[in-house]
Structures are given as structure tokens and as C-alpha cells.
Amino acid sequence: MKKNLIAQSTLLILIAFFTINCNTSTQNSTTKNAEFGIVIHGGAGTILKENLSDSLEKAYHSKLQEALNAGHSILEKGGTSIDAVQAAIMIMENSPLFNAGKGAVFTNAGTNELDASFMDGSTLNAGAVGGVTIVKNPITAARAVMEKSDHVMLSGEGANQFAILQKLDTVDNSYFYTERRFKSLQKIKNSETGSSKLLSEHNDYKFGTVGAAALDKSGNLAAGTSTGGMTNKKYGRIGDSPIIGAGTYANNATCAISCTGHGEFFIRYAVAHDVSALMEYKNMTLEAAGNEVINNKLVKVEGSGGLISIDKNGNVSMPFNTAGMYRGYMLDNKEAKTFIFK
């Protein structure tokens, strides 16, 4: 009798254990073993439902869907992850909804300075630009540095000149002007009391970076990130977005990642590479590694933001520690999913 009770108790414990694990897996694991796919973000930060009208919320979902479709159509036809990442990011750079390209935020001087990076997971080749002012789509400049130069990062006027030599689309800096972003600059300037509040205040104004990561049918990973940086930035400030290993990373052995958040923290903690390293050296899953970095390491030091990622097996993870993050993914089943809030 006693043995039967012990056996029954053991069985109940095992059933409960597997039930809990199954429920947790359903809630936290986005995908399993897709042949190919793309995941994107349009920034993380203080994104609250009560602050978004129904029409604006719909507009964000629509633009995220458009970006996913652009990248996915390339992958579906056997195209490269690099082409897919660029196509998705360009859609968001051309939209004033995001802090990249057309919707870039303003510097303290009232200009727009843009940053972008690109990484090829098959070769670990990478390219980035910082502080460009005339490149219509900075992600194209980052790719050009990766593929057509001996360098990893170019900045300022030199990067502008390189883009011209590569015959990329260039525009007058006034092209990037949007009333919404200009008003944000004025609001921050009006609230300043002598000293700059660049890093300590207005955290909700700087999370509009866009990014994409993709896995193609050949098993190659790639990632890219593009941003206008931080509203009211001074002294040529550059954040994590154009820094390989901080804002962007891709390695066929592990995963592809694009980050968004308070750049100074993402640089200090080498966030994008850290996720890959945890997978490579500690055999952590994509989801576990991302959560460890975003929801443990960064939270402990009050670093805000998130990331999107896809691993070599087609698993997707999108952890963030802010109120919201514009994000979405589309895999080989052709079903696009987009999200904004937690």
C-alpha cells in the first residue's frame, strides 16, 4: 500500500513537472527549427498603449508587416539573409514612424546624424557608419563598408564621401526633417536647466532604432541595425547601433542579433556578442541567453532596451525590459506576427 502511494505521488509530481515545462515552453519559445526566417524591431522604450491612438498603432503594425514581407519574399525565393535584412531595414528607414532614416531624431545643433551597422554571419565580415548626414539609407552605407572596403567602421564626413563614391542614394540633410522629431528636440531643450540631461533623462526619446536579423535557406545568418541616435545628442555622440558586438552581431555558429535601447549600456556590456558567447561557450539556448543578458544583467544596472534574434536552427527570441518594443517575425510558414506591447 505504501509503495503504491509513493508511486502515485511520484507520477503526479512528474505530470505536474512536464505540464509546467510545456506551459512555459509555449509562453516563452517563439519558434522551433524553421528553415528560414526574419525577425525585426522598430525600437524599444516607454511605449504605452494609452499613448498610442488606434490609427497610429495600426500604422506601426502595418509598417512592420511591410518590412517583414520585404525581407521574407527574398528569403522565400532563395535570396541571401544579407539582402533580406537590408530590404526590411530600408522599409523602416523610409518611414517617419521610426528613429532611423526619414524619422531620425535631431541633435542639439538641430541636424540629423545617423548610424548603422551590418554583419555577415557566414564570414564574420562587418561594416558600419557613424554620424552620416546625407545618406538616404544608412544601412546601405554600412553594407558597402562591409563588402567594398578594408575597414569595419567609417564616420562623419569620410563616411559621407565613401557613400558618394559607392554611388549610394544621397540627400540634403533637410530630407530627414519631421515635425514630430523636431518638437521632441524643442521639448527636451526647454526642460534643460543649465546642464545636459543627455544620458540621465528623457530615456523614452532615444529608443526608435530599427533592426533586422535573418536566416536564409543556405543556413547563413545576417543582422543589421540603423538609427538616428539620441535626441539632443552632442559632441558627435555615437551609441551602440554601429558598434559590432554591442548593437549588432551575427555568427553562423550561433545566432544573428540586432539591439535597441540605451546605447551606453549596450556598449559597456557588449550585449549582442554576449548573447552569442553564452550560446557558444555555455551551450545556452537563444531564449535563455537573451533573457540572461536583457532581463538579468542589464536590469541589475538599470540598462533599458531589448533585442531581436534568430539562431542557426530558425528559433526566434525577442526579449526586452521596457514597457514595449515594436517587433515581429516571419518564418517559412509565411505567417507574419507583429507586436508592440508586453
List residues with catalytic annotation: 209
Strand 255-261 relative to strand 248-250, pairing: antiparallel
Number of residues written out for the chain: 342
Which stretches does DSSP call E strand in the chain?
A: 37-45, 114-120, 126-132, 153-155, 210-215, 221-227, 248-250, 255-261, 305-311, 316-317, 324-331, 336-341
Asked whether the beta carbons of 110 and 86 are under 8 A apart, the reply is no
How many angstroms from the chain centroid is the CA of residue 185?
23
- How far apart (Å, rounded) are the C-alpha atoms in residues 143 and 158? 16
Q: Are 176 and 272 in contact (CB under 8 A)?
A: no
Which spans in 218-262 are helix H?
A: none
Angle in degrees, 0-180, between the axes of helices 138-148 and 81-93, rounded to the nearest 10: 150
H/E segment holding residue 296: none
Q: In the Cβ-directed half-sphere of 290, how many Cα atoms lie within 13 Å?
A: 27
Sheet with 221-227, edge to edge strand ranges: 153-155, 126-132, 114-120, 221-227, 210-215, 37-45, 324-331, 336-341
